Amino acid sequence: MEYSEIVTDALGNLTVNKMRTGLAVLGIIIGIGSVIALVSLGQGSQKAVTAQIQSLGSNLLTVVPSGGQSGGVRQAAGSGTNLTSADAEAILNSPAVTTVKNVSPEYTDRIQVTAGRNNTNTMVLGVTPQYLEVRKTELSSGTFITARDNEAQAKVAVLGPQAVTDLFGEGAAAVGQSVRINGQAMRVIGVTTSRGGSGFQNQDDRIYVPLSTAQKLLFGTNYVNQIAVEANSEDVMTQAQDEIGYLLLARHRLSDPSQADFFIMSQNDILNTASSVTGTFTALLSGIAAISLVVGGIGIMNIMLVTVTERTREIGLRKALGARKRHIITQFLLESVILTAVGGTFGIAFGIAVSYIIARVISMPFTIAVSSVALAIGVSGGIGIIFGWYPARLASNLQPIEALRYE
């Protein structure tokens, strides 16, 4: 057996009807291409989400109140009013809690903010100086809110870069200017660095004010709606979660954990949830792409069946000249494998190009998993064999006289 010869023969047969061969290959190109592109899209978004969550600190715990009650109607989680700055201080200072390094109580709400003729609806966070360390936030200019600002309910604000753009124009020097929040003029004392992120959790579209200012002057409340806790290390997350949980239960005079009026979430919980969501998303996309691959395979099978019918006489002749079944099977199987292999190769290039363009357009990290390329090669070869098998067998089982008589 000289393989170069059968391959040359197979290529010769495939080029006889270029249009038909081209269309069959196109089916595989689209199938393989969409698998690669969609898997890459899914993995890219997973990577983006993971990186974003990890950038918030991997030893971070977040305590939020569970849904409050308003006239017997349970409100959304986080809307309850039962966490206070005192709770935050207790977490930091209680002898029962040994694994906590720092605590940042926060009060967050959306509100309209104006500066001169510009205005924006943004997230205003009442924070303490600990916020910087706990939330791994850095300043690009100016200073952050100090303990003194908090004591004095100072009318100062630190802006995120997106808020600067919205209120003063892109790249404008905001420090020293003033913004109006809820009718109160606040002096801008600092701007944070850009942290990226998008959608409902844009970390750049924010304005920070002292917690006391937010509570008393802006929103009129005594509570906080989030306490961020920095544990000593990643290894003690579970212990920290337990310690904080029991401390708060005791402080809120609740006897058993099922009555807890708060949640404690770790970054890992959020990460796992996000990963499982994006994982499901990726699987769903790949499943859809796989369907188009199967359709492409059926296209190959269809073409091969037509070819077998067209070449019935040739098959009969080959058998009369001494071709065994396996010779005929090899010949036709090789043709379908060549079709799918060529389709697979172009499909990989097509898929990589498409995912690169998509990644650029929606500014997401561009990743091509070697495994998905390897899988595509394997699958396209496999499709050639699976969908080529039936036509090839059909050809090899033709009776030589019937085939020779066929007109």
Partner 1 sequence: MIKVTHISKVYATDSVETLALDDVSFEITAGEFVAIMGPSGSGKSTLMHILGALDVPSRGTYMLEGADVGSLDDDALADIRNRKIGFIFQSYNLLPRTSAVKNVMLPMYYAGIPKAKRYEKAAGLLGKVGLSDRMHHTGSQLSGGQQQRVAIARALAMDPAILLADEPTGNIASVQAEEIMSIFQDLNNAGHTIIMITHESDIAEHAGRIIYLKDGRIVRDGNCHRRRTVKTGVKS
Stretch binding partner 1 (CB under 8 A), from 201-209, 322-330, 347-355, 366-374: 322-330
Q: Decide whether 321 or 361 has the Cβ nearer to partner 1.
A: 321
Residue from 11, 254, 306, 323 in contact with partner 1 (CB under 8 A): 323
Q: Decide whether 59 or 330 has the Cβ nearer to partner 1.
A: 330
Kindly state the tokens that stand for 210: 């002292």
The yes or no reply on residue 306 touching partner 1 (CB under 8 A) is no
Residue from 212, 319, 342, 376 in contact with partner 1 (CB under 8 A): 319
The yes or no reply on residue 401 touching partner 1 (CB under 8 A) is yes
**Angle in degrees, CA 310, 315, 319, rounded to 5:** 170
Residue 47: what residue type? K
Least gap, CB of 363 to partner 1 (angstroms): 53
Number of residues that bind partner 1 (CB under 8 A): 21
Residue 144: what residue type? F
Q: Decide whether 349 or 394 has the Cβ nearer to partner 1.
A: 394
Least gap, CB of 321 to partner 1 (angstroms): 5
The yes or no reply on residue 1 touching partner 1 (CB under 8 A) is yes
Stretch binding partner 1 (CB under 8 A), from 17-25, 240-248, 323-331, 379-387: 323-331
Stretch binding partner 1 (CB under 8 A), from 178-186, 346-354, 377-385, 398-406: 398-406
Residue from 245, 314, 390, 393 in contact with partner 1 (CB under 8 A): 314
Kindly state the tokens that stand for 178: 């003033």
CA distance 302 to 158: 66
Alpha helix (H) residue ranges in 55-160: 85-93, 131-134, 147-151
Least gap, CB of 388 to partner 1 (angstroms): 21
Handedness of CA 167, 173, 177, 182 (dihedral sign): positive
Least gap, CB of 329 to partner 1 (angstroms): 12
Integer-rounded Cα Rg, in Å, for the chain is 33
**Angle in degrees, CA 41, 46, 50, rounded to 5:** 150
Stretch binding partner 1 (CB under 8 A), from 77-85, 223-231, 293-301, 320-328: 320-328
CA distance 383 to 342: 12
Which DSSP letter does residue 258 get? G
Stretch binding partner 1 (CB under 8 A), from 155-163, 173-181, 229-237, 321-329: 321-329
Q: Decide whether 155 or 327 has the Cβ nearer to partner 1.
A: 327
**Angle in degrees, CA 335, 339, 340, rounded to 5:** 120
CA distance 260 to 82: 11
Residue from 306, 325, 346, 390 in contact with partner 1 (CB under 8 A): 325
The interface mask with partner 1, positions 335-364, x = CB under 8 A, is ------------------------------
Using the structure block, give the residue that is written with the tokens 């850095």. Answer: 138
DSSP string, 187-239: EEEEEEPP----GGG-TTSEEEEEHHIIIIIII--S--SEEEEEES-GGGHHH
Subset of 102-161 contacting partner 1 (CB under 8 A): none
| Site residues for partner 1 per CB under 8 A | 1-2, 5, 12, 16, 313-314, 317-325, 327, 399-401, 404
